Amino acid sequence: MKIAFIGGGNMGEAILSAVLDKGLSRPPAISVSDTAEARCQYLEQKYGVAVMSSNRQAVDRGDVVVLAIKPQNLVEVMAELNGQLTQKQLVLSIIAGARINTLCHGLNHNCVVRAMPNTPAQIGEGISVWTATPEVTESQKEWAGSILGAMGKEIYVDDEKYIDMATAMSGSGPAYIFLFMESLVDAAVHIGLPRDMAQELVLETILGSGHFVQRSGKPLAELRRMVTSPGGTTAEALLQLEKGGFSELVKQAVSAAYNKAKRLGD
């Protein structure tokens, strides 16, 4: 599979690294174009891929064209690539908020996959939600699924509306988890634990809880009740979270991220 990367940022590199690790492509079959020359040199030296001086040059070499640029650069890149793609080329976009209609119109190309991976994809533990236009063939869907699956799990959806929802949940979700972990560490230090011990306890608690959810197969509410003894320490802590409106704040935060994702596509 020949792959052209337009944009070589962290998520673009995550896809590049995963594709090579899983043997989906080889360095000579991969081309990268990025506005930052230093970034291109880094990717060339680390992965042995071909670095192109322009986006058009990179696109000419790809069966799959991965758009991994920042949203603010999309208009300029679409203008540059408009009419340059052949019908057999698949465009795989991971640009937050960039809707399929915008991509198809701006590129003058209808064979498009829109996906939303998340940060853990950089270590092969991510999850991506994606959808495709009707013009994408079954074999191209297999390409997209294998590329996204190389970074972790992937979920295909028939309706594009779920992409913005996934952006607010799994796309932004790691930041919510990191903030919660930071808060737990600070709280642990506040009651007297050394910071390094607090951080290890928090990390292992988060990891262990996630694995427990996966393996138990039980509903989250049931698992929570298992840990919460009536009148115990956990019940006291959860009471304080409820008083502070914890669940409602989470809903408001996710809704705010979702509405922002929709506005990015306007």
Least Cα distance to 79 among 46, 112, 55, 60 occurs for 55
Predicted local distance difference test score (pLDDT) of residue 170 = 96
Q: Is the pLDDT reported for residue 265 higher than 80?
A: no
Q: What is the pLDDT of residue 5?
A: 94
Q: Is the pLDDT of residue 266 over 80?
A: no
Condensed to tens digits (0 to 9), the pLDDT of residues 132-151 reads 999 999 999 999 999 999 99
Mean pLDDT of 239-255: 97
Which residues lie closer than 8 Å to 90 by C-beta, 6 or more apart? 63, 64, 65, 111, 112, 113, 136, 140, 143, 144
pLDDT band at 264 (very low <50, low <70, confident <90, very high): confident
Residue 9, pLDDT score: 84
Which pLDDT belongs to residue 67?
Answer: 96
Domains assigned to the chain: 3-159 (3.40.50.720), 173-264 (1.10.3730.10)
pLDDT of 61: 87
Encode pLDDT of 30-50 as tens digits: 999 988 888 888 999 999 999
* 152-156 sheet: strands from edge to edge: 50-51, 30-33, 3-6, 64-67, 90-93, 112-116, 126-132, 152-156
pLDDT(8) > 90: no
Tell me which amino acid residue 255 is.
S
Q: Which percentage of the chain shows pLDDT scores above 70?
A: 100
Q: What percent of the chain has pLDDT over 90?
A: 87
Instruction: Report pLDDT for 17.
Output: 94
> Which of the residue ranges 16-20, 54-58, 133-137, 220-224 would you say has the lowest mean pLDDT?
54-58
- Is 53 a residue whose pLDDT tops 90? no
* Per-residue confidence (pLDDT) for residue 34, from 0 to 100: 85
Q: What is the pLDDT of residues 88-112, one digit of tens each?
A: 999 999 998 899 999 999 999 999 9
What pLDDT does 243 receive? 96
